[in-house]
Structure 1
């Protein structure tokens, strides 16, 4: 059975927030767009607001749907739903991640991302390219 998971592509002044998964987490040391599992009765947007509050201690506004990525790990298959987001308020405090970084779109390839997040980087690049034409 496929599990729905969300990802926030948080953008501020052309920089994108990425987070490195912490010790004892699945995919420890991999970078990702932060988010989490959708709970029963939650919309993807509600899930993102809750997960980002829990994981990063910030409040976000969830914007446009960026796209989805389906990835089959050895023990489960996930559908990662990504939304463009912005910070409304708060200071980042980490709970499940080792670190966060603000990077520009061209720097994303330098990081070792979780496999499900990689197609989202391509979607971001394509979106940027379309807007700059």
Structure 2
């Protein structure tokens, strides 16, 4: 089981997703928790590395398990609603970022497509 942290970043009722260099699937900003690292510290580190932003606030959203979109294994993803400072800019292994609506699940990893996005739509925070 791979354990990751993921950020839910919303702007104007759209969700930020990222695509790693060489990948075709968009995923949430975040990444794998290093041994001995607290999940919130992982989230802070990954946001800084991938998007060049600083974590200001994080509210737990949920933990979800699914088959990984980009690896041949199961994944457990701890998700947070986050507020960041700075402008999200692709960095490190991130090649592209995209702001999507709730109906744009065709190219998004399973955890966000099947768990997070439907709940955000239900809560009225993400446009369908």
- Whether the TM-score (by the shorter chain) exceeds 0.5 is yes
What TM-score comes out, normalization by structure 1 length?
0.77
What TM-score comes out, normalization by structure 2 length?
0.80
- How many angstroms does 1:11 deviate by? 2.2
Partner of 1:97: 94
Partner of 2:6: 7
Partner of 2:85: 88
CA–CA distance in 1 between the matches of 2:122 and 2:88? 30
Residues matched between the structures, number: 121
Q: Are 1:39 and 2:38 counterparts? A: no
RMSD: 2.1
CA–CA distance in 2 between the matches of 1:33 and 1:109? 16
CA–CA distance in 1 between the matches of 2:53 and 2:81? 15
Partner of 2:119: 123
User: Are residues 80 and 98 of structure 1, via their aligned partners in 2, closer, same or farther at CA, if it must alter by over 3 Å?
Assistant: same
User: Are residues 126 and 95 of structure 1, via their aligned partners in 2, closer, same or farther at CA, if it must alter by over 3 Å?
Assistant: same
Q: Which structure dedicates a bigger proportion of its chain to helix?
A: 1
Q: Which has the larger radius of gyration?
A: 1
